[in-house]
Structure 1
Amino acid sequence: MTNRRYDLDWLRIIAFGLLIFFHCGMFYVSWDWHVKSRFASDTIEPLMMLTSPWRLTLLFVIAGAATRFMADKMTLKSFIAIRMRRLWPPLLLAMFVIVPPQSYFEIVEALQSARGLGPDHATWLDNFYIKYVTASGNWCDADGCLITPTYNHMWFVAYLILYTLALVLILPLLRRIPAGASALIAGPLLIIVPWLYLTALRLTLFPMFGESHDFRTDWYLHPQYFGMFLFGFAIAKNQTFFDRCVNFRWIALAIALTCWLALIIYYDAYAAAIDPPQWLQLVMHAVRELDAWCAIIAAIGLAHHHLRGADGPLRQVLTQAIFPFYLIHQTIIVVAGHYLDAMQIPLAFEAPLLVAVTILGCWLFYDLGRRVPFLRVWIGLSPVLSTQPERG
């Protein structure tokens, strides 16, 4: 017997998988990113916007739920020790080993010259890596300077560390929240209350702080992501919440898709640097957050309805593999994308090849890391391969 939540496992796998494909897409859209394809355009941007409003918020809800299951099984001291041991090594590995190639190729493409920094030069260590580690590169262009060392895509893990430590301080309070608080998400309030919270943040804090993924200044995203992390912690064992998500899944999906279409029409109408009326901007902020929350409700409801009993070898493997995939994927995309673009091959071959190289590289990274005991903790796995059945 097991009490493991397979639906949450699958949601985590799917959300991280979408993130990997999203970052492959970032190579081909007009939005700012580390490296860019010569084919970059706005063609696939509507498709990218299908998941961008809600994917990361969903991951923090799942992370909060997973934290609840973990915290309820052990003492507070053991919980903190295990959580930090699983998060800190991958973050440090990313900052000082995995992310530097991303920064290097960002510098090369932004400055249009390696300027003696490349790995083909004998002085690469002094000219790039030492400067990267000591924050002394002074790599700047018209848009600003690259601050190093950096965690880039691993900001998610850095935020999880912060939110876990903050959670510990309020854990006794959270466990004393009366069961009657579930009335806040009863019936249509399941959609309305969280939507109002997200919309209030979007209308008040987003104009002032934007989204930086710098933990020191991210005062719009911290209330959003930490709030969703706490929400996930609170509802992890609330079966009524999951039943309501199942009941609302098709309504929520229809609302999310309608909002997505409205956002596409809105951005297309004002793509030519024409400022929309202030009232319309406020309305579309609210529409974006309705899209985000309804998509999350639909995802949770569909997963709980169809995947809560979906165990098997594939789930077991992917549950372990998806975090190492996340750890390495962006560096593979950046490096492979840079060299594939230089090869001048047609887009019809380049894009599938980039995706294939990314998936293969992720698997090789995971497969090597899981087989070497010393490396397991550095890629977010348990120190030794467990032979015990999963328990939550």
Structure 2
Amino acid sequence: MSDATLSPLARRHDLDWIRVGAFFLLILYHVGMLYVSWDFHIKSPRIVEALQPVMMITNPWRLTLLFLVSGAATRFLTDGFAAEGGKAGRRLAGSRALRLLPALVFGMFAIVPPQTYYEIFQALQGMGVADPAQSWVLQDFWVKYATASGHWCDADGCVTTPTWNHLWFVAYLLVYGLIVAGLVGLPGKPLAALGRWTERACAGWGLLVWPILFFALLRFTLAPLFEITHDLTGDWYNHALSFGAYLFGFLIARSETLKATFIRLRRPAAALALLAWAGWAAYAWIYRADDAMPSETLRNAMRIVYAIDQWAWIAAILGYGARYLNRGGPVLRYLSVGVFPFYIVHQTAIIVAAWYLMPLRLPLPLEGGLIIGATFAACFATYEIARRIGWFGLLLGVRPRARKTEG
């Protein structure tokens, strides 16, 4: 790959800024999930249908972008290990396990349970239970949660615990990181060869065409067969999409050629993204009713539009980011570490804040603003705590800071 101009430890500030922005955008998206008709752990009684087309701006690509920039971050981490000597693959595997596994396990048993509690609480309210908190269903809740003995079922299915809910992303990052670590350790450096081939294939307009064709192929083949479940096993469409993006980010992170191509194609990518969003949002709005039945021809056409939507937005964001987000500094250093604990706690913070604010029946803009503010306050507080508790910070996704030595 064309990375001769980059030192082994060089960073791409643009990718770091995009990663931070994508995590912040995800927080806003999950607040919006309270107010649309799509499934979420708890729902506001005041649904705003007009919010759905707005949320569809990010719906097809937000997590794919996160996987891509996470793969790029893994590339820089790997190159750092290689520059220091030793077996980079083995060190990468250990680093990913140390960084992600404690946070995943702690999150499942300490961060996620309130989400399940309030989800069941609201379901009991909907079933007419006067005081769900005193119901036998929620007695000894955490014990039942941790031991998978709650038997929390209704006509729509069962809540299986312990669960990772939004932390599925962390579990998938762990698995993908270990896979890449294994590939890095293979003789012959197959990833380097694949990276050179990717750079050649995606030169020029290929950077728009080939990813769109790949996403469209997935929409026609795996998507109809494998619903996205986030359960790790059997989630094959999601794996093909997410690991594909992760590996692509790993391969292109150091390519100056593709960075320049993203910059050159940013305007046509943005125009294509807006057109695709308009088409997909209109389709989803017109056929939003449960009994709406579009023709098979239209469904096939929309699979292609969705694929265009997925990649064109990502390409535009990477292009504009590469052009305008090239400065680092203390704010970026702070936030690039902070976004991981932000991600770990944000969904629980949203649900708890919403649970206590929604009964007040405040004006919706005020209610939503307070939920957003409370969520960010909880995220920053968690990060500041995690930075100060040494190795225990790993439970919240923060490695301990190296001690400064005298002399």
TM over 0.5, shorter chain: yes
| Partner residue, 1:100 | 113
Instruction: Classify 1:298/1:212 alpha carbon distance in 2 versus 1 (closer, same or farther; 3 Å).
Output: same
| Partner residue, 2:345 | 328
Distance 2:204 2:137 in 1: 60
Amino acid at match of 1:376: G
Instruction: Classify 1:32/1:183 alpha carbon distance in 2 versus 1 (closer, same or farther; 3 Å).
Output: same
Moved over 4 A (4+): 113-117, 121-126, 385-388
How far has the Cα of 1:147 moved from its partner? 0.6
Amino acid at match of 2:172: Y
* DSSP-derived class of the 1:175 partner: helix
How far has the Cα of 1:195 moved from its partner? 0.8
Distance 2:376 2:195 in 1: 45
Deviation larger for 367-376 or 227-236: 367-376
How far has the Cα of 1:86 moved from its partner? 0.4
How far has the Cα of 1:125 moved from its partner? 9.0
How far has the Cα of 1:93 moved from its partner? 1.2
Amino acid at match of 1:100: P
**Can you give the 5+ residue segments of structure 1 that lack an aligned partner in the other structure?**
none
Of 221, 237, 240 in structure 2, the residue corresponding to residue 223 of structure 1 is 240
| Partner residue, 2:68 | 61
| Partner residue, 1:254 | 271
Distance 2:56 2:182 in 1: 36
1:38 aligns with 2:45: yes
Aligned partners of 2:92 and 2:181 also within 8 Å:
no
**Can you give the 5+ residue segments of structure 2 that lack an aligned partner in the other structure?**
1-6, 82-86
| Partner residue, 1:198 | 215
Amino acid at match of 1:281: R
The one-character-per-residue Cα deviations of 1:211-244 (angstroms, maximum 9, x if unpaired) are: 1111012111011111111111111111111110
How far has the Cα of 1:115 moved from its partner? 8.5
The one-character-per-residue Cα deviations of 1:165-216 (angstroms, maximum 9, x if unpaired) are: 2222322321233724422112211111111111111111111111111101
Q: How many residues align?
A: 385
Deviation larger for 249-258 or 370-379: 370-379
| Partner residue, 1:284 | 302
Distance 1:274 1:369 in 2: 48
Distance 1:57 1:115 in 2: 42
The one-character-per-residue Cα deviations of 1:103-126 (angstroms, maximum 9, x if unpaired) are: 0000111222778874xx699996
| Partner residue, 1:155 | 168
Amino acid at match of 2:178: L
Aligned partners of 2:391 and 2:399 also within 8 Å:
no
Amino acid at match of 2:61: W
Aligned partners of 1:117 and 1:128 also within 8 Å:
no
1:372 aligns with 2:385: no
Of 11, 15, 25 in structure 2, the residue corresponding to residue 8 of structure 1 is 15
Instruction: Classify 1:216/1:321 alpha carbon distance in 2 versus 1 (closer, same or farther; 3 Å).
Output: same
Distance 1:31 1:220 in 2: 20
5 Å-filtered alignment, 1:1-392, equals 3-74=10-81, 75=87, 76-112=89-125, 118=133, 127-171=140-184, 172=186, 173-177=190-194, 179-272=196-289, 273-308=291-326, 310-385=327-402
* DSSP-derived class of the 1:229 partner: helix
Aligned partners of 1:61 and 1:231 also within 8 Å:
yes
| CA-atom RMSD in angstroms | 2.1
Amino acid at match of 1:302: Y
Aligned partners of 1:373 and 1:384 also within 8 Å:
yes
Instruction: Classify 1:116/1:344 alpha carbon distance in 2 versus 1 (closer, same or farther; 3 Å).
Output: closer
Distance 1:259 1:85 in 2: 40
Distance 2:366 2:248 in 1: 43
The one-character-per-residue Cα deviations of 1:62-98 (angstroms, maximum 9, x if unpaired) are: 1111111111222322221111100011101110000
Provide the identity percentage.
Answer: 42
How far has the Cα of 1:3 moved from its partner? 1.7
Deviation larger for 379-388 or 313-322: 379-388
* DSSP-derived class of the 1:319 partner: helix
Aligned partners of 1:116 and 1:127 also within 8 Å:
no
Amino acid at match of 2:375: T
Instruction: Classify 1:103/1:125 alpha carbon distance in 2 versus 1 (closer, same or farther; 3 Å).
Output: closer
Distance 1:365 1:126 in 2: 28
Distance 2:142 2:198 in 1: 52
Deviation larger for 174-183 or 290-299: 174-183
* DSSP-derived class of the 1:176 partner: helix
| Partner residue, 2:3 | none
Distance 2:319 2:395 in 1: 34
Amino acid at match of 1:148: T
Distance 1:217 1:178 in 2: 28
